[in-house]
Amino acid sequence: MVLSVLDQAPISQGMTGGEALRNSIDLAVAAERAGYTRYWVAEHHGTSMLACASPEVLIGPIASATSQLRVGSGGVMLPHYSPLKVAESFSMLSGLYPGRIDLALGRAAGTDPLTAFMLQRDRRHPAPDDFPEQLAELLALIRGDLSHDHRFRRLVQLPGRPDKPTPWLLGSSPQSAVWAAELGLPYAFADFINPGGSSIARRYRESFVPTDTQATPRVIVGVSAVCAERDAEAERLASSSRMAFTMFLQGEFIQVPPVEVAVRFFKERPEAAHVLTGRRRAIVGSPATVREGLEGVAAEYGADEVMVVTITHEHAARRRSYELLAEECGLSRNPALDGVVGRL
């Protein structure tokens, strides 16, 4: 099983955003040492719980602190940006770290409607829903194949060429799979947002149109998981993220609470334990329990790769969760990196 990391840069109670971002660099170094394939950072805006509002800013330091790990966005929320600006930013990253940069793109806002409106340069009216056109232009810029009659064709020169990022499309709904298949893009489905999307992944594979750069369909499934030495300890650690996302679904944003606070919250409000039921799936337990669960999800989706997102209050527990899972799944550890320190 090919394993990778999705890092949402969680901010725990009592932690600053800067500390959360430095923890991301530290975790990436540990992930490379443990044998993970790629490390993606997410984009979220206007929340006190997640620190990364600009993946391209965090990708650079992570790629610099590592040497073999593929690093990328999971993803860039394209409706907020000019396709040219995204293409230029990721071209620069590709030039600096050739053969290692992924550009995964999403249509979602990554925030609430008001914050999304604040991100607009022109606020005289709502932004148009033109994601397919944005995506097509961005891909043409990256690949260097703007149509001969495109009005910007003669003006575009990306700074990182000949190196270029590998584009992916993110999704949690059927429409994203349609676009990924039509454009011949590899596809990453967020099961941790919309559990049970195996039929969507199957339709993507069945309708995939090969391209010169992607001859066959490729599926990553993103899964929420918490791993500890024993099932009971993993359940305790997972209570922090469960409380944070329970509050989020009820319209309240909080930082990731300590385990003791979360355990007390669910004890005093037992009805809250059911808020996530059917809406979010997480695999929680000992290394063997989590491995079995991830293998099941991978088989369900026919996935080529599993990307694990883990949120705990303590950074050490989060890092240990990934290390235990890597050991259980037999990832190829790189002992040459044991002395590397990821903090800036």
- Which CATH number goes with the domain that contains 8? 3.20.20.30
What is the residue range of 307's domain? 3-337
Query: What pLDDT does residue 86 have?
Result: 97
Can you say how many angstroms the Cα of residue 305 is from the centroid of all Cα atoms in its chain?
13
Considering the domain boundaries, does residue 203 fall inside one? yes
Domain assignment of residue 344, yes or no: no
Given a contact cutoff of 8 angstroms between Cβ atoms, the answer to whether 5 and 33 are in contact is no
CA 180 – CA 134 distance, rounded (Å)? 14
**Could you tell me how far CA 142 lies from the centroid of its own chain?**
21
User: Nearest-5° angle of CA 341, CA 100, CA 78?
Assistant: 110
Q: CA–CA separation, 19 vs 10, rounded Å?
A: 10
* Sequence-distant (≥ 6) Cβ neighbours of residue 255 within 8 angstroms: 11, 12, 13, 14, 15, 48, 49, 244
User: DSSP secondary structure string, 245-300?
Assistant: HHHHHTT---PBPPHHHHHHHHHH-GGGGGSSTTT--EEEESHHHHHHHHHHHHHH
Residue 251 located in a structural domain = yes
Sequence-distant (≥ 6) Cβ neighbours of residue 42 within 8 angstroms: 6, 7, 8, 9, 50, 52, 55, 73, 74, 75, 110
User: For residue 44, what pLDDT is reported?
Assistant: 94
Q: According to the model, what pLDDT value does residue 344 have? A: 36
pTM of the complete model beyond 0.75: yes
Q: What pLDDT, on the 0 to 100 scale, is given for residue 251?
A: 82
Q: Count structural domains, the chain.
A: 1
Per-residue pLDDT at 335: 64
Q: What is the pLDDT along the chain (344 residues), one digit of tens a residue?
A: 899 999 999 999 999 999 999 999 999 999 999 999 999 999 999 899 999 999 999 999 999 999 999 999 999 999 999 999 999 999 999 999 999 999 999 998 777 888 888 888 888 888 888 899 999 999 999 998 877 676 776 667 899 999 999 999 999 999 999 999 999 999 999 999 999 899 999 999 999 999 999 999 999 999 999 999 999 999 999 999 999 999 988 888 899 999 999 999 999 998 888 888 778 899 999 999 999 999 999 999 999 999 999 999 999 999 999 999 999 999 987 766 665 554 43
Q: Does any domain span residue 322?
A: yes
Residue 85: its H or E element: helix 83-96
